[in-house]
Structure 1
Amino acid sequence: MSENTRNTLESHLRQLKCHFTWNLVEGGESLDDFEDEVCNETEFQNNEFKATVFNILAYVKHCRGNDQAALGCLRQAEALIQREHAEQAAIRSLVTWGNSAWVYYHLGRFADAQMYVDKVLQVCEEFRSPYRIESPEMDCEEGWARLLCGGKHNERAKVCFEKALERNPQNPEFTSGLAIASYRLDTWPLPQNPVDSLRQAIRLNPDNRYAKVLLALKLQRMKEEGEGERLVEEALEDAPCATDVLCGAAKLYQRKGALDRAIELLRKALEGMPNNTYLHYYTGCCYRTKVLEILQDTGKNDMYGRRKKLQEAIEQAMYHLKRVEEANTKLPCVGSYLACLYAQAGQYDEAEHYFQKEFCKELSPGAKQVLHLRYGNFQLYQRKSENTAIHHFIQGVKINQDSKEREKMKNKLQKIASVRLSKDGADSVALHLLEFLQEQDAEMRPAEEKSERCLDSGSLLPPASSPEE
Structure 2
Amino acid sequence: MLRSFHTKSGQWGLEDSYWSKVSKNSLDKILPKLKCHFTWNLFKGESISHDLEDRVCNQIEFLNTEFKPTMYNLLAYVKHLRGQNEAALECLGQAEELIQREHSDQAEIRSLVTWGNYAWVYYHLGRLSEAQTYADKVKQVCEKFSNPYSIECPELDCEEGWTRLKCGERQNERAKVCFEKALEEKPDDPEFSSGLAIAMYCLDKKPQNQFSVKVLKQAIELSPNNEYIKVLLALKLQKMNEKAEGEQLVAEALEKAPCQTDVLCSAAKFYKRKGDLDKAIELFLKALESLPNNGYLHYQIAYCYKAKVKQIQNTGELETSGHREKIEGLRKCAVGYLTKTIEKGLDPQSVHPDLIGLLETEENRQIVIDGKELPSTERQQLYQRYSIFRAYCEKSEDTAVQHYSEGLPITTVSTEKEKMKYQLQNIGENQLPRNAPNSWYLQGLIHKLNGDLLQAAKCYEKALGHVLRNSPSGIGSLFLSASELEGGSEEMGQDAELCSRRTP
TM-score (norm 1): 0.69
For residues 36 and 184 of structure 1, do their structure 2 counterparts lie closer, same or farther at Cα, with a shift above 3 Å needed?
A: same
For residues 281 and 11 of structure 1, do their structure 2 counterparts lie closer, same or farther at Cα, with a shift above 3 Å needed?
A: same
CA contact (8 A) 1:336 1:358 kept: no
Select 1:30's aligned residue among 46, 49, 59: 46
How far apart are residue 99 of structure 1 and its match? Answer: 0.5
For residues 87 and 278 of structure 1, do their structure 2 counterparts lie closer, same or farther at Cα, with a shift above 3 Å needed?
A: farther
CA contact (8 A) 1:57 1:73 kept: yes
CA contact (8 A) 2:190 2:223 kept: yes
Q: Secondary structure at the match of 1:132?
A: coil
Q: Secondary structure at the match of 1:130?
A: coil
Name the counterpart of 2:411. Answer: none
CA contact (8 A) 2:109 2:141 kept: yes
**Equivalent residues, number:** 365
Name the counterpart of 1:329. Answer: 346
Name the counterpart of 2:394. Answer: 368
CA distance in 2, matches of 1:61, 1:133: 26
Alpha-carbon displacement from aligned partner over 1:150-205 (angstroms, at most 9, x marks no partner): 222111111111111111100000001111111111138x9672011100000011
Aligned Cα root-mean-square deviation (Å) = 3.4
Name the counterpart of 1:225. Answer: 243
For residues 41 and 10 of structure 1, do their structure 2 counterparts lie closer, same or farther at Cα, with a shift above 3 Å needed?
A: same
How far apart are residue 328 of structure 1 and its match? Answer: 3.1
Is residue 180 of structure 1 aligned with residue 198 of structure 2?
yes
For residues 168 and 316 of structure 1, do their structure 2 counterparts lie closer, same or farther at Cα, with a shift above 3 Å needed?
A: same
Name the counterpart of 1:347. Answer: 363
Name the counterpart of 1:132. Answer: 150
For residues 331 and 290 of structure 1, do their structure 2 counterparts lie closer, same or farther at Cα, with a shift above 3 Å needed?
A: same
CA distance in 2, matches of 1:159, 1:316: 42
Structure 1's unaligned 5+ residue stretches are: 373-398, 401-469
CA contact (8 A) 1:74 1:96 kept: yes
The residue type paired with residue 366 of structure 2 is E
CA distance in 2, matches of 1:335, 1:282: 10
Q: Secondary structure at the match of 1:14?
A: helix
Q: Percent identity?
A: 52
CA distance in 2, matches of 1:22, 1:283: 34
Name the counterpart of 2:99. Answer: 81
How far apart are residue 273 of structure 1 and its match? Answer: 2.0
The residue type paired with residue 202 of structure 2 is R
Name the counterpart of 1:266. Answer: 284
CA contact (8 A) 2:293 2:344 kept: no
Structure 2's unaligned 5+ residue stretches are: 1-18, 371-382, 399-430, 433-504
For residues 197 and 223 of structure 1, do their structure 2 counterparts lie closer, same or farther at Cα, with a shift above 3 Å needed?
A: same
Name the counterpart of 1:443. Answer: none
TM-score (norm 2): 0.65
Name the counterpart of 1:309. Answer: 326
**1:53-202 to 2 correspondences below 5 Å:** 53-187=71-205, 193-202=211-220
Q: Secondary structure at the match of 1:6?
A: helix
Name the counterpart of 1:380. Answer: none
Q: Secondary structure at the match of 2:211?
A: coil
How far apart are residue 114 of structure 1 and its match? Answer: 1.4
CA contact (8 A) 1:40 1:277 kept: no
CA contact (8 A) 1:37 1:150 kept: no
CA contact (8 A) 1:140 1:174 kept: yes
Which structure would you say has the larger RCO, counting Cα contacts within 8 Å and 6 or more residues apart? 1
CA contact (8 A) 2:306 2:330 kept: yes
Name the counterpart of 1:465. Answer: none
How far apart are residue 288 of structure 1 and its match? Answer: 1.9
Is residue 39 of structure 1 aligned with residue 66 of structure 2?
no
CA distance in 2, matches of 1:166, 1:334: 39
For residues 191 and 99 of structure 1, do their structure 2 counterparts lie closer, same or farther at Cα, with a shift above 3 Å needed?
A: farther
CA distance in 1, matches of 2:125, 2:172: 32
The residue type paired with residue 38 of structure 1 is L
Deviation larger for 166-175 or 305-314:
305-314
For residues 150 and 221 of structure 1, do their structure 2 counterparts lie closer, same or farther at Cα, with a shift above 3 Å needed?
A: same
Deviation larger for 99-108 or 190-199:
190-199
Q: Secondary structure at the match of 2:37?
A: coil
CA distance in 2, matches of 1:361, 1:197: 40
How far apart are residue 258 of structure 1 and its match? Answer: 0.7
